[in-house]
Amino acid sequence: MRLKLVRENTKFDFFSRWKLWLGISMLMVVIGFTSYAIQGLNFGIDFRGGTTIRTESTQPVVIGEYRAALDTLNLGDISITEVFDPNFRADQNVAMIRIQAQEGQEAVEVDTIVQVEAALQTIDPGMKFPSVESVGPKVSGELIKTAALAVVLAIGAVLIYIWLRFEWQFALGAVAALVHDVVLTIGVFSELQIKFDLAIIAALLTIVGYSLNDTVVVFDRVRENLRKYKKKELAEVLNISINETLSRTVMTSVTTLLALIALFVLGGDVIRGFVFAMIWGVIVGTYSSVFVASTILLYLGVKRDWSKPDANAGNQFANIDA
């Protein structure tokens, strides 16, 4: 007996209230922009600058004990991760501790580093500190610019890819959905003031790929059905296409969310921000593939038969060829 999350031959009308769905999306985008403009993002050490201390101990690394020892110093954002390497000795336990730069300072002061080392040595008096590295605000600023450029270039590459594979109307619909997903993800991080670091940039790029994959599957079916149903209205063809791919969309999203929720609950603090971004991205990415990308395509229209240069246009915008 096969598991079916969506029954066969569904006939949902996704576009009877397309203006409402598009209005909701635009409202959420405005809220995201407003939150970002007012609160900004809670940047992590990667973007703020700070100091990284590498520790080495013969005792196992217990992150809870490390954090409890450092909490008394009131140093703000502290990230603690255990380092694993097959070349380590059996009694070689290594951790990386990242401390944000204090207000008005380029990096963590030497006296503060001494206090951190003394606090950690209360756990293991023989603990060693092989390296201490600092990242100043200038380097952090460059990372922010590079991260923003990476997201913009990814979306630009998607625009060109969809334009070449389909037509410009499909490309604009896909890019609108991707921008929608990225803006809402940044907006929710701004609104909830969740730490924003390089891992979240990786999540944003992953969300772009995930959302694009779902959108391309729908658009492929739309293009096939536009040739198959030449006399049906564009909205009807879009509804048929989305219903035909709905089972695949729901199954993919649900199975992905099952894995992500398990990681969010059991994965610990180190990856929780990344996983939260992925969960949010899967949800809004699935939503945008149907209610943003397809709605934009409905508004712009497409030619009904690519084999004829004078084919009927979907609406007034569809006469412009790429």
Question: Which stretches of the chain drop beneath a pLDDT of 50?
Answer: 309-322
What's the pTM? 0.72
- What confidence score (pLDDT) does residue 136 get? 63
**C-beta of residue 211 within 8 angstroms of C-beta of residue 178:** yes
Which of 316, 321, 322 lies closest to 300 in space, CA to CA?
316
CA–CA dist 225, 198 (Å, integer): 41
Which two three-digit tokens encode residue 283?
Answer: 């949800």
Provide the pLDDT for residue 258: 92
Encoded tokens for 103: 């207000």
State pLDDT tens for residues 287-321: 888 888 888 888 888 766 555 544 444 444 433 34
Span 128-155, pLDDT tens digits: 888 887 766 555 667 778 878 888 888 8
The predicted structure's pLDDT at residue 139: 59
Q: Give pLDDT, residue 17.
A: 80
Question: Domains, the chain, ranges and CATH?
Answer: 18-42+140-300 (1.20.1640.10), 50-135 (3.30.70.2040)
pLDDT at 312: 45
